[in-house]
Amino acid sequence: MSDYDTVSADVEHEEEIPEDHPRYQDLLTRHRIEAGVEKGITHLQGMHAEGRGSAFDYLLGEETIPSADDAERAAAAHLLLADHPVLSINGNVAALVPGEMVELAEATGADLEVNLFNRTPERIDAIVDHLREHGADEVKGLEADAHIPNLDHERSKVDADGIYEADVVLVPLEDGDRAEALDEMGKTEIVIDLNPLSRSPQVADVPIVDNIIRAVPNVTDHALELAGADEADLRTIVANFDRERALEDAEERIRSGEL
Ligand code: ATP
């Protein structure tokens, strides 16, 4: 009998998922995406993205590997050093970690901006409302009065005083084309993605190969711990982070299958 056979596929509330279930995190993640689709904040395609992520997380042992923790610390240092950090929110991010993104924004002084691959006014409004329900004050992404160069019109829309002018952007579960276009704009890009071979982590200054439900709270913990650190110390953390090693470590862990 598979793990899935032991838990009904249609739990109504996440509290019904037993915390001691061996695949608890996966069931929780899947449930939140389903709930996001039902609430109109997550596109149906978000379920496919979730399925891909889930397979990689299984192979990573569903834990934050040491190189991912290093990346999460470097991400915190980048966000604290930034003049204008922005955290990008798509439908999966809103479904999985709404309150956690609000907490990270507060810990680092970053703006939150809704940025959708399948953009409709209804979904933008639903996500903004959802973030407000989870404690957000201001949420950007409604103006969409600027464009990321080298992307098609709909996919390129951002706020002029948000992602467009940001120096550091956190783009979790980002589409490869947009991650590349943001990189070409010269931004410091932090990507959270469970697939180290995906284009988004490949172009990131800080690729975090970890499940977003573990990664975001951990970046916040690092940011709170580093809040009083000297600028020189933050710069040392940033300089010592090795993006190639982080990607190689994650790939090695996935390929070795040593769980
Ligand atoms: P590319 O970046 O090359 O366009 P892709 O088409 O696989 O790759 P998308 O479907 O746009 O990418 O984005 C989904 C990505 O997000 C996948 O790489 C998937 O592994 C990752 N992902 C899905 N769920 C999570 C999660 N909970 N935490 C972290 N990463 C996740």
Q: Give, for ligand 1, the residue of 48, 117, 200, 211 to mutate: max count of ligand atoms closer than 8 Å to Cβ.
A: 200
Alpha carbon of 53 to ligand 1 centroid (Å): 6
CA angle 241, 244, 250 (to 5 degrees): 100
Query: Tens digit of pLDDT for each residue in 59-73?
Result: 999 999 999 999 999
Query: Alpha-carbon distance 177 to 200, whole Å?
Result: 8
Q: What is the DSSP string of 44-70?
A: THHHHHHHHHHHHHHHHTSS--HHHHH
Query: Tens digit of pLDDT for each residue in 70-97?
Result: 999 999 999 999 999 999 999 999 999 9
Query: Tens digit of pLDDT for each residue in 94-126?
Result: 999 999 999 999 999 999 999 998 889 999 999
Give, using CA atoms, the residue closest to atom 20 of ligand 1.
Answer: 53
Is residue 108 within 8 A of residue 86, CB to CB? The reply is: no
Q: Judge whether residue 41 has pLDDT over 90.
A: yes
Is the C-beta atom of 118 inside 6 A of ligand 1?
Answer: no
| List of domains in the chain | 66-256 (3.40.50.12640)
Alpha carbon of 227 to ligand 1 centroid (Å): 30
Q: Spell out the residues 6+ positions from residue 235 whose beta carbon is closer than 8 angstroms to its own.
A: 77, 81
Query: Tens digit of pLDDT for each residue in 202-216?
Result: 999 999 999 999 999
- 259 or 4, higher pLDDT: 259
pLDDT (average), residues 164-172: 98
Q: Judge whether residue 1 has pLDDT over 90.
A: no
